[in-house]
Amino acid sequence: MKLQGTMQINDKGHLEIGSCDTVELAESFGTPLYVMDEQYFRQNCRSYYRAFTEKYDGVVLYAAKTLLTLAICHIVAEEGLSLDVVSGGELYTAKKARFPMERVYFHGNNKSVAELKLALEYKVGRIIVDNRHELLMLNRLAGEAGVQAKIMLRLTPGVEAHTHEYIKTGQIDSKFGIVIENGQAMEIIKQALALENIQLTGLHCHIGSQIFEMQSYTHAAEVMLAFTALVHQETGWQPEEMNFGGGMGIYYTSADKPQPVIKYADMLVPAVQTLSKSYGLSVPKVLVEPGRSISGPAGTTLYTVGAVKDIPGIRKYVAVDGGMGDNPRPALYQARYEALLANRAAQQQKEMVSIAGKCCESGDMLIWDIELPAPVPGDILAVSATGAYNYSMSMNYNRLPRPAMVLVRDGVADIIVTRETYDDLIRNDLVPERLDDRVVRIAGAVR
């Protein structure tokens, strides 16, 4: 496993993160445990801030969908980033964390009336409108509230980024955004410009996730600016800001070759500037919405090894106390991860094993074929790069409680999400009285 962020192996041969011994973390807080490396998370925020905001006067929005908790909101706010939220729940979390609402951008392809009302009430910075239905609904709600809604329109530029099928979003056949190519985008822009309670500030696109080919972004910029030139010709309007979404790929395994953020900024922003000038447009502010590349590498999940099942000549299954409940990505996207034994991190002798989760699903395999020092029950397995789309996509399948999360830094570990209890699992369950009655009657009858 590649050591990232503040990871190191201490003289006990244990993995350390944020100068905390992960074996001690597992003992103190139990497993499975999400460990967030605060320094690394902040460093990732800063790389974006420096590259886009300091160098080019752009805006960086942290994509909350990758990982959002109250503590994470505080850090993101402190680091000067803005926030991309996609639901009432994410918005509410930001509000509760007292995140500056003017720095919140509200996304989503099917926002409800209640969500839009909440966004207007909280006075979020922008609403990124995805479709005509939403545009008209928002115009009405803003009118009722006596305000002007500042919006960006999400467009589908028809750019295909090379990534997993399920996480490609910029192509034309997509549930997200408004298609440029067939004229629908032009039509909706004209409509937005004519609406009384709508102020159109800019355009948005997002071409996918876990992207390594930087040319995909410049290609998106070409399409967006060529279209903007047409819009300008037809309407006289031009965007003050242009948002290119998220998507920067990260290192999960040696097959992944992430690019430095500065390279991304140095390709995208000058491309937008040059293209704008060549079309005689004023240069829009460039916005980006990274999520995975900020939170992903900063997270590690600790598990305890349980049953080890050897099928000679076939495979050795090493089962851990978590799995698809806390990390559904391998089951959903065939995502690959690296891992090591945190309590024997320096050990060289290795054998090939596969890591199984504990859910009642054959597909609940965290890692197929990984070399580890012969795992035995009680070992602590650390899986790296689990900071994005793990906790946020976690679930209670098989009524497994969600793990706790600790934020580690300089030898201090703070719990930022408590472990779910069995009582949390039944918190929303109700038993109608008549069922209770029946149990009593049947029990009585049996007796």
Interface stretch with ligand LLP, choices 184-192, 194-202, 283-291, 427-435 (CB under 6 A): 283-291
Beta bridge partners of 412: 409
| Total of residues contacting ligand LLP (CB under 6 A) | 22
Binder of ligand LLP out of 126, 292, 344, 358 (CB under 6 A) = 292
Q: Is 220 exposed, middle or buried (0-12, 13-18, 19+ CB in 10 A)?
A: buried
Query: Within 238-267, which residues bind ligand LLP (CB under 6 A)?
Result: 245-248
Q: Is there binding between residue 214 and ligand LLP (CB under 6 A)?
A: no
Task: Give the closest residue to 67 by CA, choosing from 427, 424, 409, 417.
Answer: 417
Site string for ligand LLP, 112-141 (x = CB under 6 A): ------------------------------
- Report the DSSP pairing between strands 380-384 and 365-372: unpaired
DSSP state of 110: S
Q: How far apart are CA 354 and CA 181, in angstroms?
A: 46
Catalytic residue numbers read 360
Binder of ligand LLP out of 147, 167, 186, 193 (CB under 6 A) = 167
Interface stretch with ligand LLP, choices 40-48, 182-190, 202-210, 348-356 (CB under 6 A): 202-210
Binder of ligand LLP out of 15, 63, 83, 342 (CB under 6 A) = 63
Q: Is there binding between residue 271 and ligand LLP (CB under 6 A)?
A: no
Interface stretch with ligand LLP, choices 46-54, 144-152, 284-292, 420-428 (CB under 6 A): 284-292
DSSP state of 130: -
Q: Measured from the CB of residue 85, what is the shortest distance to ligand LLP in angstroms?
A: 11
Binder of ligand LLP out of 42, 107, 126, 150 (CB under 6 A) = 107
Q: Is there binding between residue 293 and ligand LLP (CB under 6 A)?
A: yes
DSSP secondary structure string for all residues of 31-87:
SSEEEEEHHHHHHHHHHHIIIIIITT--EEEEEGGG---HHHHHHHHHTT-EEEE-S
DSSP state of 270: H
Q: Measured from the CB of residue 210, what is the shortest distance to ligand LLP in angstroms?
A: 6
C-alpha count within 13 angstroms, C-beta hemisphere, residue 313: 0
Beta bridge partners of 199: 150
Binder of ligand LLP out of 125, 157, 158, 290 (CB under 6 A) = 290
AA letter at 206: H
Q: How far apart are CA 186 and CA 179, in angstroms?
A: 9
- Interface positions with ligand LLP (CB under 6 A): 63, 66, 84, 107, 167, 169, 206, 209-210, 245-248, 289-293, 329, 333, 388-389
